[in-house]
Amino acid sequence: MENRSFYNEILTEHNMRPDYKHDIENPDYELEGVNPSCGDDIILKLKVDDNGIITDGAFTGDGCAISQASADIMLGIIIGKSKDEALKYGDIFFRMIKGEATEDEIDSLEEASVLRDISHMPARVKAHPGGDVRG
Amino acid sequence: MPDYKKDFPLLVKEPTIYLDNAATSQKPECVLEAEKGFYVNHNANPLRGFYPLSMEATDIYENARKKVQQFINAKSEREIIFTRNTTESINLVAYSYGLSNIKKGDEIVVSIMEHHSNMLPWQMVARNTGAELKYLECEADGSVSEETIEKVITDKTKLVACGHVSNVLGRVNPIDKIIKRAHDYGAVVVIDAAQSAPHMGIDVSAMDADFLAFSGHKMFGPMGIGVLYGKEKLLNAMPPFLTGGEMIESVTREGAKYAELPHKFEAGTVNAAGAAGLAAAIDFIEKIGFDVMEEREAALTAMAMEGLKAIPHVKILGSENPSEHTGIITFVIDDVHPHDVSAILEADGIDVRAGHHCAQPLLAHLGVRSATRASIMYYNTEEEIKALIDSAATVRKRMGYGE
Ligand SMILES: Cc1ncc(COP(=O)(O)O)c(C=O)c1O
């Protein structure tokens, strides 16, 4: 453990040098996620064209490495996809971190599959999207 | 050094390095035995029956009250109300005293350092009465100056709520000065002693606090038993907080005549086993001695602060001086989120707390979103503190940063 990264390198890379951490103007969708255990706040913005395709997306705000990398990797997956496909990936992601997704589903998440390990960290799963860890 | 852990079954069994003592302390065998012993040997509903078992249960419960009275040097047992915890104690004061004594145009002063438990009830009182809420600010090192106290507590102030020791900074607040100033202007003072009661002797009479609250579970006692101390004169004039069984003298179709203190504020079946456990915890503290505990905790805190401070990119909140931390060390590591810090410490077998510590306004005031907190008890050891320092020193590297 000592000289290796604590998390998978893909995760720490996305945390340190995110591709999609910036603001975008005139988004079509804006969503705020608050983590009650640390007061973190992530704002996700998306642009969707007339055909329902996500043409651009970005996030701002603070969070732990897992939340930052999740947002960054998932944006990479869903940009260019339709809203329905994006929702499907989102659903697989949630099931993956709860340890409920199949291997094929996890493979379909490409890089995001590195986050599967957080399903072994129950406190993390709870503290993350939709979680309810109190302080 | 004596093996202090041997008194704590969980610490004997579990190899974990427990440094979340400010959240709740571990429980010694004698406390577990006292709680269990109540149910095994004396279980009956206290204060209700006249048969011997119920009288025994009543005696155990009331003796625990006497023990608490002596522990904090209250003038009378009638000034000791058993609650579930600090939060309930403070809510009792807010709903009962606050709502009936505070009016529009009055001011309530709350320190910015407060745990949400000693802040939200006062926000509620201000909202419901139209009183104004003012904050007593602190400096970055956690100190509160005399000028600040004098500026915010005025003839408009009706109530001041302040922690004895902050659960984030660990610093002892100048409550003597705050209480003196408040009393000069006729205001009452509510002291949150949740973080001081486990670590230092408290003398409510010398302190002259009007109300003081603490939790059993943070001072080696069981969960589910807490204390509210209140001056008899104030408690007598207050309406009950909860109504129902056990807090009445007589009830008619029209209403009720309430019981005398302290039972007026203890509606429903009480936590007698918890009270027995708390009494055992007080005996335990008195056997070890606060002087011994304080000396151990001061030495471990100094060691931890020195070690953590020497790590590049680690910053400790509050005073530079370890003697002003009461065993609480809250820190941040540049670029690393506290949840990641705690995940790494966890992986090394160290239990700490990460988050906003139920003190979001304080963290905002200090300019941090969240932080990691290690909190020390006398039973921790030098080896455990060394493990904390060693693990903290690897955090940035393990998150992919150079150093
Ligand atoms: C300073 C302070 N006040 C109040 C509380 C609340 O205590 P409890 O949860 O036992 O009511 C705590 C502990 O969490 C605390 O540290």
pLDDT in tens, A48-87: 999 999 999 999 998 899 889 999 999 999 999 999 999 9
Distance CA A121, CA B124 (A): 37
Q: What CATH number is given for A2-134 in this structure? A: 3.90.1010.10
Q: What CATH number is given for B289-398 in this structure? A: 3.90.1150.10
* Residue A36: per-residue pLDDT: 75
User: b/e for A76-105, b at 16 or more Cβ within 10 A?
Assistant: bbbbeeeeeebeebeebbeebbeeebeeeb
Task: Show the DSSP H helices in B16-165 as ranges.
Answer: 29-41, 52-71, 86-92, 99-101, 120-129, 146-152
Q: Is residue A125 over pLDDT 60?
A: no
* Residue A4: per-residue pLDDT: 56
Residues of chain B with pLDDT under 70: 403
* Residue A6: per-residue pLDDT: 82
Instruction: Report, as an integer, the average pLDDT of A11-18.
Output: 94
Residues 55-74 of A with CB under 8 A from B: 62-66, 68
* Residue A118: per-residue pLDDT: 73
Token readout for A41 is 């706040």
* Residue B130: per-residue pLDDT: 98
Is the minimum distance from the CB of B195 to ligand 1 under 6 angstroms?
yes
**Chain A residues in contact with B344 (beta carbon < 8 A):** 6
At B228, which amino acid appears?
A: L
Residue given tokens 């996700």 in the structure block: A44
Assign A134 a pLDDT band (cuts: 50, 70, 90).
Answer: very low
Q: Which residue, B351, B323, B300, B382, is CA-closest to B170?
A: B323
Q: Which residue, B339, B382, B335, B330, is CA-closest to B359?
A: B330
Distance CA B215, CA B52 (A): 30
B286: Cβ–Cβ under 8 A, 6 or more apart, which residues?
none
With beta carbons less than 8 A apart as the criterion, state whether A5 and B398 touch.
yes
Instruction: Mutation target for B interface from A64, A119, A120, A132: give the one with most B CBs within 10 A.
Output: A64
* Residue A1: per-residue pLDDT: 41
Sequence spans of domains, chain A:
2-134
Q: What CATH number is given for B30-286 in this structure? A: 3.40.640.10
How much is the ipTM here? 0.82
Assign A40 a pLDDT band (cuts: 50, 70, 90).
Answer: confident
Token readout for B313 is 């990119």
CA dihedral for B323, B324, B325, B329, sign (positive or negative): negative
Is the minimum distance from the CB of B85 to ligand 1 under 6 angstroms?
yes
Assign A133 a pLDDT band (cuts: 50, 70, 90).
Answer: very low
**Chain B residues in contact with A3 (beta carbon < 8 A):** 397
